[in-house]
Amino acid sequence: MSSLYQHGTLAMLMGKQMQGTASVAELLAHGDTGIGTFEGLDGEGIILDGKVYQALSNGQVVQVTDQDVLLPFVSVHFHEPTEVLPFSEVDFGTLSSKLEKFQLDNIFAAIKFHGKFSHVHTRVVAKQTIPFPSLLDVSKNQPEFHRDDVAGTLVGYYAPEIFNGPTAAGWHVHFLSDDKKFAGHVLDFSATEVDGTLQLFDDFIQHLPIDNAEFRDMSLDLDGLSSGIKASEGRKA
Ligand SMILES: [Zn+2]
């Protein structure tokens, strides 16, 4: 079985900890596939085949080749799928029911779909500056993008409800088009002809930036955490 490696937590972003604390080089040592965000929430990250891409809030996508670029929150794994999915048509609304027989409720899993999408709806967080605001305030104003008939890859994770806080419970997926010109955090998608795989994890590695003074000083409002996560990470299906 395999491991999902996560640096930072969603709760830290809610606690205004958006400083980058893990480098691209460190992350790629733990996986070749994944999703995350950059220092100051500068866009949405997607890692595919060991390459890191950054979707920017102006709609552009760049490949991050500098191994020293820092990220505050990111999940990665080595793509070694445990299941080849038997369907080629899926959308966000039917994803969970199509995967029902794999009983994902209480485990971490990754999906990867590649092929044709009739529609993809994304959002891309805009870069924040110090003093960092709360994630909730950031999420109230972030650009959204739509693309029809686009070829690309959708990658992301399912996290159990009990891990809401360390990460977002449920599905969290990002998209990158084959032409590398369209990417972001997926709010909705509809795939018409895709090859899909599923990977189940029996290890969840939670890495924390223990040398970061701001993180060590952070105090979290736990009561507001789950409603805040819901408001900032919830998808509009
Ligand atoms: Zn995201």
Q: What is the identity of the amino acid at 202?
A: D
pLDDT tens per residue, range 212-232: 999 999 988 777 787 788 788
Give the distance (Å) from ligand 1 centre to CA of residue 192.
22
Residues, beta carbon < 5 Å, ion ligand 1 = 185
Query: Taking the domain 2-233, which CATH number applies?
Result: 3.30.1330.80
What confidence score (pLDDT) does residue 227 get?
Answer: 79
User: Computed from CA positions of residues 97, 99, 100, 101, in that sequence, does the dihedral angle turn out positive or negative?
Assistant: positive
* Phi/psi of residue 113, nearest 5 degrees: -120, 130
Give the distance (Å) from ligand 1 centre to CA of residue 84.
24
Give the distance (Å) from ligand 1 centre to CA of residue 175.
9
Alpha carbons within 13 A on the beta-carbon side of 174: 28
Give the distance (Å) from ligand 1 centre to CA of residue 172.
6
Domain boundaries, the chain: 2-233
Closest CA to 17 of 1, 44, 40, 49: 40
What confidence score (pLDDT) does residue 237 get?
Answer: 36
Give the distance (Å) from ligand 1 centre to CA of residue 44.
6
User: Mean pLDDT, to the nearest integer, of 153-179?
Assistant: 96
Dihedral class, residue 181 (left if φ above 0, else alpha if ψ from -120 to 50, else beta): alpha
pLDDT tens per residue, range 19-70: 999 999 999 999 999 999 999 999 999 999 999 999 999 999 999 999 999 9
